[in-house]
Structures are given as structure tokens and as C-alpha cells.
Amino acid sequence: MSKLLIIGAGGVGKVVAHKCAQLRDVFSEILLASRTKSRCDEIAQEIFELQGIRIKTAALDADDPKNTEKLLAEYQPALVLNVALPYQDLAIMDACLAQRIPYLDTANYEPPDTAKFEYHWQWAYRERFEQAGIMALLGSGFDPGVTNVFCAYAQKKLFDEIETIDILDCNAGNHGHKFATNFNPEINIREITQPGRYWERHGEDGQGEPAGEAGEGRWKQIEPMSMRWDYDFPEVGVKAAYLLYHEEIESLCRNIKGVKSIRFWMTFGDSYLKHLEVLQNVGLTSIKPIEYQGQQIVPIQFLKALLPDPASLAKNYTGKTCIGCLISGTKDGKRRKVFIYNVCDHAACYQEVRSQAISYTTGVPAAVGAAMMVTGKWNRPGVHNIEELDPEPFLELLGKHGLPWQVQELPV
């Protein structure tokens, strides 16, 4: 039985708090801390109403490691589960090192002033975590997270050799708004307005940027949203998916032996893309500060203030998400192709924890990853991406706690 500190009380933090509270035999006590304490208190009250369980709350500005260090020294949790924003990752890791407390997150560090999603800042902590004898688990959400674990499972059980991985993320839900993002708008829009990038081991045409820390392959770059694939998703049907850069490619190309190509695709409707194009064209998605009436404002932060809070979409959300990995390769000398996936229903998530499926599919794996760590099933000092750990016990718990998954055999 272990004490848990959750940092961040947004859409994902709320699901994590609910799910960890449900895991009564794993977490003896939960403290939910975030910049705005009233949001923690609202979640605590809701958990009490739905589950009859009391969790503690605290105000914390995690941008300064000293604040987190002080809270850790007082509370002494068995684990810090970070679901604040990617900007806080390094500061929270510093505090964990100082107090020798294990760490888990769902998104890699991003510097606030450049939209860059790379692991090297966090991988640079490897030796310090190893020497401190504590584990940091990176990317325990859905993508990154479950998708990485699906790849590790495919490597362990389904294939002798994996050749290609296509991660396909489909949200076929409807929240009734003309334009809204399903998780933090600033982080989401920074991610999808980047040039598309994918990874290939053999850049046969000699094109592309050498992958550096991301193994021996090459990065191929394309214009944002310029590659489309109409994919037939189980339970959801055909949806238009667009190639994006996503952070899990960087770790999977190192950890899935022999893989030759990894790409990431996300579905968007025409209306979403039209709104995004207009917002970009008028400069509202920019992260460069501008002067407005004697004040510096960052356009994307102003836009965030105008858009619906992702957590508020939950109540009237209908439809399903389908996220999975399409993997091809060989098994026992024969070619094989599978789609390993989960389908999640927005309304069912609202019924259970008053959240929509994007927050739910991120929060459940974070809670399950935390359970794996505090029960000692995963205990490897250092900084690790989730596919480096044994996938089977994680997937077993994941299915039990709300995200069942399937393997679909496909013709080769």
C-alpha cells in the first residue's frame, strides 16, 4: 500500500485521480496537487460523491523544483505521477531526484518557446536516476503509452521480426462544438501544426535527416497534413487520417529491433482542418509573443482562453475512439499483419468518471503504469520509455481497468 502524489488537475489529472482512487488495494492515500487548488478540490469532491473515497489536495506551482521538493519532503509519496503540462517535466524530475522518489509522465518535455517534442532532455537524466536507484517511466498515456506497449507485445508474442509500424489514432466522436481540442489546446495545436515526420531505417533514396540519438535510420519530413490515408477502423469505419510527427517514434525506432519504418497518423474532419487553417493563416496559432496594448501576449495562449476547456466537452460527447498499431512482419517464416487496438466510448467514460474518451484513454494507462511501479512489477532504476518494460502484466491490468484491447489479423 503506497502514497501517491498526482501533479496536474486538468482533463487527464481528473481521470488519473478517479482511477487511482478505484485502485484501493494499491494506493493507500492520494494527494492531488496543481497550480489552481480549486480544480483539485472539485475533483476530490466528485470522487467522494461517486466512490465515497477522500483524497487530499494541495496548491503547487511545479515550474520551480523547490516547491515540488518541499511538498515531496513533507508528503513522502512512493511515486510522483506527472500529468501537468510537458513544460514542467524537467523541473518535476529534478525534484524527484533530490528527494529520491520515482517519477512517471505521459508526455515528453517541451521547451515553452520552441515547439519541439524530443526525448533527449529527459534521456539526459538516465545516469542520475540510475545512480539514485530510482525509476522514471516516460510516456505512460495512450499515445505515447499503450501504443508503445502494443509494439512491445507484438515484438514479444506476435512476430519474429517486425518490419513496419503505423500508429493510427482515430477519434470518431462528436462534442457538438464547431472547433475544440480534446486535450490542452496549446499542446495539441503545437503538435499538429508541426511538419509531418516519419522514420525509416533504410533511407534508400539517401534523403532525410540522420536520426542521431534515434538510431541508425533517417527522418523524413513533409508539409503538415500533406499525407492522407483513408483507413477502415474497427467499430468506427473509414476515416481520413493524416501523417503527423509524434514523440513515440523516437523511442520505438531504438527499442523495436529490426523495424524498418514507423509512422503516426491521426484522423481529422474537414471542418476541424478548415478552422485550423484559418487560425494559422491569421497567426492565432503562433507561439511567438506579440505586443498588444502595451502587453506581451502569446497568440496560441490567447486562443486557448477562447476555446472550450477540453474537460467541459465530456458531458455531451458521443461516439468512439479507436487507437492502435498496424504492424507487419514475419512469424514462423510466414508474413503477418495485425492491428492491435482499443475502442473507447465517450459516453461510457462520462458515465464512469465524468470525462471524455481522450482524457480517459490517457488517464487509465497512467494509473496502470503507476500501479505497475508501486507494486514493484516494474522496477528498473534509470529513465525508461514504456516499451522497454514487460508488456504483459501492464496489458492485463489495462483490460481490467477500462481499456480492453484486441488483435485483428489482416490479410498480407
Among positions 4, 5, 6, 9, the unique one binding ligand NDP when judged by CB under 6 A: 9
Nearer to ligand NDP, 22 or 88 (CB): 88
Footprint of ligand NDP on residues 216-245 (CB under 6 A)?
A: none
Nearer to ligand NDP, 66 or 335 (CB): 66
- Asked if residues 151 and 385 have their Cβ atoms less than 8 Å apart, the reply is no
Nearer to ligand NDP, 149 or 162 (CB): 149
> Judged by CB under 6 A, how many residues of this single chain contact ligand NDP?
32
H or E, element range at 222: strand 218-222
Is 25 buried (19+), middle (13-18) or exposed (0-12) by CB count in 10 A?
A: exposed
Among positions 4, 5, 6, 13, the unique one binding ligand NDP when judged by CB under 6 A: 13
Nearer to ligand NDP, 10 or 324 (CB): 10
Write out the E strands in 61-134.
Answer: 79-82, 103-105
Nearer to ligand NDP, 22 or 355 (CB): 355
Residues 6+ apart with CB under 8 A from 225: 192, 196, 242, 268, 273
Q: Show the binding pattern over residues 65-104: x = contacts ligand NDP (CB under 6 A), - = does not.
A: ------------------xxxx-x----------------
Among positions 28, 36, 301, 351, the unique one binding ligand NDP when judged by CB under 6 A: 36
Nearer to ligand NDP, 88 or 155 (CB): 88
- Asked if residues 247 and 117 have their Cβ atoms less than 8 Å apart, the reply is yes
- Asked if residues 250 and 214 have their Cβ atoms less than 8 Å apart, the reply is yes
Q: Which three cell numbers stand for residue 320?
A: 468512439
Write out the E strands in 254-403.
Answer: 261-267, 290-292, 295-297, 320-331, 334-345, 382-385
Shortest CA distance to 55 belongs to which of 22, 21, 83, 25? 21
Among positions 23, 187, 276, 343, the unique one binding ligand NDP when judged by CB under 6 A: 187
Residues 6+ apart with CB under 8 A from 205: none
Q: Which three cell numbers stand for residue 38?
A: 480549486
Q: Show the binding pattern over residues 287-316: x = contacts ligand NDP (CB under 6 A), - = does not.
A: -----------------------x------
C-alpha 168/C-alpha 201 separation (Å) is: 20
- Asked if residues 147 and 326 have their Cβ atoms less than 8 Å apart, the reply is no
Among positions 263, 362, 384, 394, the unique one binding ligand NDP when judged by CB under 6 A: 362
Least Å distance, CB 224 to ligand NDP, is 19
Q: Which three cell numbers stand for residue 231?
A: 483507413
Least Å distance, CB 411 to ligand NDP, is 30
Least Å distance, CB 340 to ligand NDP, is 16
Among positions 17, 20, 55, 60, the unique one binding ligand NDP when judged by CB under 6 A: 60
Report long-range pairs for 114-120 (Cβ below 8 Å, ≥24 apart): 114/287, 115/190, 115/191, 115/193, 115/194, 115/287, 117/86, 117/191, 117/194, 117/245, 117/246, 117/247, 118/247, 118/250, 119/213, 119/247, 119/250, 119/251, 119/385, 120/213
Q: What is the DSSP letter of 174?
A: B
Stretch that binds ligand NDP, among 1-9, 207-215, 258-266, 287-295 (CB under 6 A): 1-9
- Asked if residues 61 and 409 have their Cβ atoms less than 8 Å apart, the reply is no
Among positions 65, 77, 102, 141, the unique one binding ligand NDP when judged by CB under 6 A: 141
Among positions 21, 55, 107, 151, the unique one binding ligand NDP when judged by CB under 6 A: 107
Write out the E strands in 19-147.
Answer: 27-34, 56-59, 79-82, 103-105, 135-138
Among positions 6, 10, 44, 242, the unique one binding ligand NDP when judged by CB under 6 A: 10
Q: Does position 349 bind ligand NDP by CB under 6 A?
A: no
Least Å distance, CB 152 to ligand NDP, is 16
Nearer to ligand NDP, 329 or 402 (CB): 402
Least Å distance, CB 206 to ligand NDP, is 33
Among positions 65, 102, 145, 196, the unique one binding ligand NDP when judged by CB under 6 A: 145
Q: Does position 264 bind ligand NDP by CB under 6 A?
A: no
Stretch that binds ligand NDP, among 5-13, 257-265, 324-332, 382-390 (CB under 6 A): 5-13
In three-state secondary structure terms, 294 is: coil
The contact set with ligand NDP (CB under 6 A) reads 7-13, 34-36, 39, 60-63, 83-86, 88, 106-107, 141-145, 183-184, 187, 310, 362
